[in-house]
Amino acid sequence: MAAESQAADSVGIVEPQSLHFPEPIRLESGHTLPEFNLVFETYGTLNADASNAVLICHALSGHHHAAGYHSREDRKPGWWDACIGPGKPIDTNKFFVVCPNNLGGCHGSTGPASENPDTGRPYGPDFPVITVRDWVKSQARLADRLGIDQWAAVIGGSLGGMQALDWAIHYPERIRHAVVIAATPRLTAQNIAFNEVARRAITSDPEFHEGRYLENNAIPQRGLMLARMVGHITYLSDVSMGEKFGRELRDHAYHFGFDVEFQVESYLQYQGVRFSESFDANTYLLMTRALDYFDPAREFGNDLTRAMAEARCRFLVLSFSSDWRFAPEHSQKLVNAMVDARRDVSYAEIDSDWGHDAFLVPNERYESLFRAYMNRVAKEHGDAG
Amino acid sequence: MAAESQAADSVGIVEPQSLHFPEPIRLESGHTLPEFNLVFETYGTLNADASNAVLICHALSGHHHAAGYHSREDRKPGWWDACIGPGKPIDTNKFFVVCPNNLGGCHGSTGPASENPDTGRPYGPDFPVITVRDWVKSQARLADRLGIDQWAAVIGGSLGGMQALDWAIHYPERIRHAVVIAATPRLTAQNIAFNEVARRAITSDPEFHEGRYLENNAIPQRGLMLARMVGHITYLSDVSMGEKFGRELRDHAYHFGFDVEFQVESYLQYQGVRFSESFDANTYLLMTRALDYFDPAREFGNDLTRAMAEARCRFLVLSFSSDWRFAPEHSQKLVNAMVDARRDVSYAEIDSDWGHDAFLVPNERYESLFRAYMNRVAKEHGDAG
């Protein structure tokens, strides 16, 4: 039996790479990181004039492993394997795809769990707050090092879509297309509230040790688990949870107690535990705060149209009907500002029951729109491989 | 300046009463409580033939103090003072209003913080799981003691509405009207998931001590706070949170940190702390579990119409447009089953931005529909006072 990694539409076995950036980077907060590493993966081949490069920006709990497998035994591909590969919407026969782990992350790029060169100990809570702008700035340095002056496209879902937007506004000459999926030009009070619950769950866990859990050989597992449970509910929809679990009982009968009774409880606990074993708590705080702070209109007098007028690229904006985290109205506001700023934008609301997570779930219309748009992007650089 | 308690439409100063029920009560779980107390308040006067009594059922974090003030210095009235009082929708010039604290509660009725007669210590986690049916059964005993054979109406919002429904199904001869507001015939997977997060926040707090926190001179405050924060988000709507807080900053500028930055964070923390100082953790577990288990169709082959066919009373069902916890579709399902069962039902979806909490918030159409319905109920017993 052939491994999944040998499927014709898979990028196959991939290997993460890492680059060290020895120059200090000044962050939006005013703090400076003296140096940093970015870990990333690439799929496909950069063409001679470096015109076919595509940047994939990950969301809250994502990382650099977006497609393919790390070994033949690896049964689970990268998180966006559904969209990246030969013949897939982001076609690796046509594009050179770059996906970094964000600064502040916990999968190899410099983050709170990394050693602070000033102290020789983990940064922990001393790692500065990172914003979407900071990520884009660090990604621009990565592009420099890879010899990419201009991305054919910057693409992302959710928090990743915010990075694509920020690229468009702050590096207008370095991006030809931005694909902004299930994103928002800024969080609502409800969005911020859910993030705050997640953060509070982590920071109020006695094992958090004010962020110095690593030095205390501890992990705020209960807090991370709760944070993930809350997050997970907001990524799904009432409908998709209903279809997946309904009120199904784990054991056909009521037991009148507080152990797991309904399937949905069992699922959430499983997801929570798994997450708490693999994700860094300080990174979770940073990522959710970056979401809260994102508000590109802010520096343009709270005028999103003025912000969008900075952009020179073309846009594809996609939203999903059952997404109640960043509902289609969020994308519509964004599109309205783009239109008002006379930007070139294609927009579609995709029918899906999968809530916010729909951007990761195979869906015929989604794939066909995405593929058609990316084919046009590819045409601009003559399908060069 | 006159105290609020002297306003013409206030029930004024009220005093809680308590009754001891020395007979054992067998619960739906199969467990038996050997005896119990119920604390309650009454407003208005029971008429000669006891035909003007109205039962108010409280929701998750509610209690027996639904209207009026406990003293002249008391600045905050009971939780449903907007609807209960002379000339208000539940007119105390016409009705004798009874509002108990539910069994398992933490405001005076027997609950997990009460002394277990078998051990002389607090019940704590040994207090049996209580269901909506159990509450109704205990309320029926209260009615017996008060000499009320039949309620003119049983009224409740949210979890309180579920009790009104259960009265209609299981004591058809003892209730003439049921007013079911912002309720549901059963929770969805998403509803259960939010409850499970709240419970998990409490039980994973090290100060929970497996439910024996009182004996350990501890309180799982962090867990209760998180539970309340999650709950609070689901009681409000995205719109009402947006109107109330938007992205307003506490201090006009970004500080790039994890202290309170947005007003909504400050509000949630305040609510969470206040709640954690006043509510019993084991009671919170019981109340959320009662919500999860409620499913009156279950004993009728999952056929809600058959369940509703048991009822003999008339119904008023109200839902609120922005309620995403128990959205109008929940009420519509209920109404459809009532109509299929040829029950007499009036239904309205009230336009409101206040989410699930709308049933507690003054609203012209809500009040006028509620008042008109209750006036008709009063006419049946000849406006006797």
pLDDT digits (tens, 9 = 90+) for A309-354: 999 999 999 999 999 999 999 999 999 999 999 999 999 999 999 9
B contacts of A261 (beta carbons < 8 Å)? 292
Q: Which residues pair with B20 in a beta bridge?
A: B37
Per-residue pLDDT band at B358 (split at 50, 70, 90): very high
3-state helix/strand/coil string of chain B: CCCHHHCCCCCCECCCEEEEECCCEECCCCCEECCEEEEEEEECCCCCCCCCEEEEECCCCCCCCCCCECCCCCCCCCCCCCCEECCCCEECCCCEEEEECCCCCCCCCCCCCCECCCCCCECHHHCCCCCHHHHHHHHHHHHHHHCCCCECEEEEECHHHHHHHHHHHHCHHHECEEEEECCCCCCCHHHHHHHHHHHHHHHCCHHHHHHCCCCCCCCCHHHHHHHHHHHHHHHCCHHHHHHHCCCCECCCCCCCCCCCCEHHHHHHHHHHHHHHCCCCHHHHHHHHHHHHHCCCCHHHCCCHHHHHHCCCCEEEEEEECCCCCCCHHHHHHHHHHHHHCCCCEEEEEECCCCHHHHHHCCCHHHHHHHHHHHHHHHHHCCCCC
Per-residue pLDDT band at B382 (split at 50, 70, 90): low
Cα-Cα-Cα-Cα torsion A264, A350, A102, A279, nearest 10 degrees, comes to 0
B contacts of A327 (beta carbons < 8 Å)? 238
pLDDT tens digits, one per residue of A264-275? 999 999 999 999
Q: Which residues pair with B359 in a beta bridge?
A: none
Starting at the edge strand found earlier in the chain, the sheet holding A96-100 runs A17-21, A36-43, A96-100, A53-57, A153-157, A177-181, A314-320, A345-350
Helix (H, G, I), strand (E, B) or coil at A118: coil
Residue A385 clears pLDDT 70, i.e. is over it: no
Q: What is the pLDDT of residue B1?
A: 40
Structure tokens at A162: 């915010």
Amino acid at A102: N
- How much is the ipTM here? 0.94
Contact A341, A308 (CB under 8 A): yes
Count CA atoms closer than 13 A to B258's CA, side-chain side: 25
A contacts of B129 (beta carbons < 8 Å)? 256-258
Residues B316, B369: Cα–Cα separation, whole Å = 9
Mean pLDDT across the stretch B218-246? Answer: 95
Residues A262, A249: Cα–Cα separation, whole Å = 4
pLDDT tens digits, one per residue of A274-306? 999 999 999 999 999 999 999 999 999 999 999
Mutating which of A31, A252, A262 best tests the B interface, going by the most B Cβ atoms within 10 A? A262
**Nearest CA-CA partner of B125 in B277, B279, B290, B283:** B283
Q: How far is CA B17 from CA B73, B85, B98, B278, in A?
A: 20, 18, 11, 20
pLDDT tens digits, one per residue of A343-354? 999 999 999 999
- pLDDT, mean over chain B: 96
Contact B359, B157 (CB under 8 A): yes
Amino acid at A224: L
pLDDT tens digits, one per residue of B284-324? 999 999 999 999 999 999 999 999 999 999 999 999 999 99
A contacts of B261 (beta carbons < 8 Å)? 292
Catalytic residue positions of B? 158, 323, 356
Interchain contact, A196 vs B245, CB within 8 Å: no
Interchain contact, B268 vs A193, CB within 8 Å: yes
Structure tokens at A278: 């693999």
Interchain contact, A200 vs B226, CB within 8 Å: yes
Q: Which residue of A has its CA nearest to B230?
A: A197
Q: What is the pLDDT of residue A382?
A: 62
Q: What is the pLDDT of residue B385?
A: 43
Q: What is the pLDDT of residue A13?
A: 96
The domains found in chain A, sorted by start residue, are 4-186+296-380 (3.40.50.1820), 193-287 (1.10.1740.110)
Q: What is the pLDDT of residue B251?
A: 85
Contact B161, B181 (CB under 8 A): yes
- Min Cα distance B182 → chain A (Å) is 17
Q: Which residue of A has its CA nearest to B210?
A: A258
Count CA atoms closer than 13 A to A356's CA, side-chain side: 21
Residues B140, A166: Cα–Cα separation, whole Å = 62
pLDDT tens digits, one per residue of A177-235? 999 999 999 999 999 999 999 999 999 999 999 999 999 999 999 999 999 999 999 99
Residue B2 clears pLDDT 60, i.e. is over it: no
Residue A383 clears pLDDT 80, i.e. is over it: no
Catalytic residue positions of A? 158, 323, 356
Q: Which residue of B has its CA nearest to A325?
A: B238
pLDDT tens digits, one per residue of A125-143? 999 999 999 999 999 999 9
Sequence-ordered list of residues with C-beta below 8 angstroms from that of A103, at least 6 positions apart, any chain: A33, A36, A38, A109, A110, A111, A130, A134, A135, A138
pLDDT tens digits, one per residue of A19-47? 999 999 999 999 999 999 999 999 999 99
Residue A10 clears pLDDT 50, i.e. is over it: yes
Under DSSP, the state recorded for A50 is S
- Count CB-CB contacts under 10 A for residue A150: 15
pLDDT tens digits, one per residue of A66-109? 999 999 999 999 999 999 999 999 999 999 999 999 999 999 99
- Count CB-CB contacts under 10 A for residue A190: 24
Mutating which of B29, B126, B190 best tests the A interface, going by the most A Cβ atoms within 10 A? B190
Interchain contact, B197 vs A268, CB within 8 Å: yes
**Nearest CA-CA partner of B284 in B205, B355, B359:** B205
Structure tokens at B15: 């005093």
Residues B279, B107: Cα–Cα separation, whole Å = 9
Amino acid at B123: Y
Q: What is the pLDDT of residue A323?
A: 97
Residues B177, A363: Cα–Cα separation, whole Å = 48
Residues A295, A316: Cα–Cα separation, whole Å = 19
Mean pLDDT across the stretch B235-264? Answer: 92
Work out how many CB contacts closer than 8 A connect A with B: 154
Q: What is the pLDDT of residue B250?
A: 87
Sign of CA dihedral A76, A79, A83, A85: negative
Residue B381 clears pLDDT 90, i.e. is over it: no
Interchain contact, B264 vs A192, CB within 8 Å: yes
A contacts of B252 (beta carbons < 8 Å)? none
Q: What is the pLDDT of residue A1?
A: 41
Interchain contact, B196 vs A256, CB within 8 Å: no
Interchain contact, A194 vs B233, CB within 8 Å: yes
- Min Cα distance A123 → chain B (Å) is 15
Report, in this order, helix, strand and coil percent for chain A, each rounded to 5: 40, 15, 45
- Min Cα distance B336 → chain A (Å) is 20
